[in-house]
Chains A and B, each alone.
Chain A
Amino acid sequence: MINLNTLLYIDPGTGSIILQAFVAAVVGVIFFIKYGWHRLLRFFGLRKAPHPRRGCEGEGEGGEN
């Protein structure tokens, strides 16, 4: 059963949602570049540890840290 979110009781704010989408896209690109660069360096053996940011495609809670 899909939750239809009838329980959202605070006003998320139209402008806030729009701005959020914009910022999320921008920082998403920035993080992708930073993360991608880090992975590239690891591929070439120039970095050891996984990138500290863990996203849904991330390296998991444990890792080499």
Chain B
Amino acid sequence: MIQHINESSFRDPAGFLFDENGKLLRQVNKCYQEDFDFLISSSLYDILTGEGLMIEHKELKNHQGLTPDCYKIIEPDLIGFISYPYEWSFSQLKDAALATLKIQKIALEHDMTLKDSSAYNMQFKNGNPVLIDTLSFEIYQDGKPWQAYRQFCQHFLAPLALMSYTDIRLNQLLKCYLDGIPLDLAAELLPFKTKLKFSLLMHLHLHARTQKKYADKGHASKNIQIKRSNLIALIDSLISVVSGFSLKKQSTEWGEYYTFTNYSDQSFSHKKEIIARVLKNINPEWLWDLGANTGEFTRIAGEQGIQCIAFDIDPVAVEIHYNVVKQQKITNILPLIIDLTNPSPATGWNNKERMSLMQRPRPGAILALALIHHLAISDNLPFNKISGFLSELSDDLVIEFIPKNDFQVRKLLESRIDIFPGYNEENFEKEFSVFFSIVVKERIHGSERILYWMKKKK
């Protein structure tokens, strides 16, 4: 029996995740027994799982656990694809924040409270944010302050405020600061007008100040009591301020850009038809759409019941895509922000706590549409490096070649010297044939572009 403790699960004394022969299990320790039993008996577990706010688990009988202080072993429902807050768009982070607050509020109604509120405790399942850490709750003691308030402000409030008031790209700070953005840094980066808004003044600016002031005075907060009704009012205040965040300014500026498709109707529908046909043949369970933009073509795969992860470097495109997915109640597409030339690295303790992109389970197929010219020309990547990379990701590749006389490529070359004599159809096929065989090759009607289905060579 091969058992291996999960690299991200070591801080909480209540228990830990481990892998056993390919199964993901969670050990609940004896010190957490009372809280765990209360979670079940108070019906909080039933309510949260019933509302789709938390994952379910099965209790395993007859398992001794990995250590003598094991109380129970549970098998949690799996999340198909693990993603991290620095890969989420603005609204994904906002929805995860609101879900966390909703969970805390329901918990308080059942005499429990969240002992942590890390954004890494939330994952997306069937399009919605869910709590994956069943051991996050503790029995609420009347009068006790919310221990996870600081963490909530750093993991959720600060990045959302920065994306809303300063720049949408600032969620990337979460990659550097794994326990959320330090409040003093956020306070410095936010514009002055945020000091004039009561909630932000309290939860961010004053919060940053009091953190600094009492940094060495641990005893000062020892006996502080907060009435339950005031605590609930505080949670409501957080719900209100988070709900109020928006990207109004940015999304209207860029709205038009994303509705311009570059194709004639004829080309567009032919491209869609080829993709739908090829995907039916490949029939993958999982698919990654690289450079998915707002998901026009991801939805073709989604309609066939394929589980899709849609990556794009542009946070506005991912935001728009996520909003479409929500609006159309699509449960099998997860849009994420990824720069393919600098994908998420492995971060955290020992560089093992959070997986790099390449460490996540690989898909059965890849879509690489309207992408090759960005990688080969804008990012100066030789064809053989691109094809090598794609062959590592998946066995089946649906890729679009954009020739030099295409409008998009001419735009890319407008302001620079053309040092790409090898950027042509012949070379593209030659370099990709090192790793792939071409199964299907079709020119898109009314366009110079070519669609390929390639299969990795064994």
Contact = CB atoms under 8 A, between A and B. Distances in A.
A12 B148 contact: yes
Interface in A6-25: 6-25
A20 B221 CA distance: 10
A27 interface: yes
Given A11-B150, A12-B148, A15-B214, A3 B229 contact: no
B221 A14 contact: yes
Contacts of B221: 12, 14-15, 17-18
Given A20-B149, A23-B203, A14 B217 contact: yes
Given A13-B211, A57-B229, A20 B236 contact: no
B99 interface: no
Interface in A21-54: 21-28, 30-32, 53
B146 interface: yes
B13 A3 contact: no
Contacts of A65: none
A24 B229 CA distance: 9
Contact of A9 (B12, B228, B232, B233): B12
A10 B151 contact: yes
A44 B427 CA distance: 82
Contacts of B139: 3
A15 B236 contact: no
A55 B34 contact: no
B230 interface: yes
A7 B215 contact: no
Nearest to B135: A7
A11 to B, nearest CB: 7
Contacts of B229: 28, 32, 55-57
Interface residues of A, number: 34
Interface in B1-35: 11-14, 31-32, 34-35
A16 B211 contact: yes
B202 A26 contact: yes
A52 to B, nearest CB: 10
A18 B220 contact: yes
A53 B240 CA distance: 11
B150 A28 contact: no
B169 interface: no
Contacts of B215: 14-15
B11 to A, nearest CB: 5
B250 interface: no
A3 B218 CA distance: 22
A22 B148 CA distance: 16
A13 B11 CA distance: 17
B417 interface: no
Contacts of B146: 20
A16 B207 contact: yes
B218 A30 contact: no
Interface of B: 11-14, 31-32, 34-35, 108-109, 115-116, 118, 138-139, 141, 144-151, 153, 202-203, 206-207, 209-215, 217-218, 220-221, 224-234, 236-237
Given A9-B115, A10-B11, A28-B227, 5 more contacts: A1-B34, A9-B13, A14-B215, A14-B221, A56-B228
14 contacts: A3-B138, A5-B141, A10-B148, A12-B147, A15-B214, A17-B221, A18-B221, A19-B211, A24-B233, A25-B230, A27-B234, A27-B236, A56-B228, A56-B229
4 smallest CB-CB distances across A and B, nearest first, come from A28-B230, A16-B150, A17-B221, A15-B210
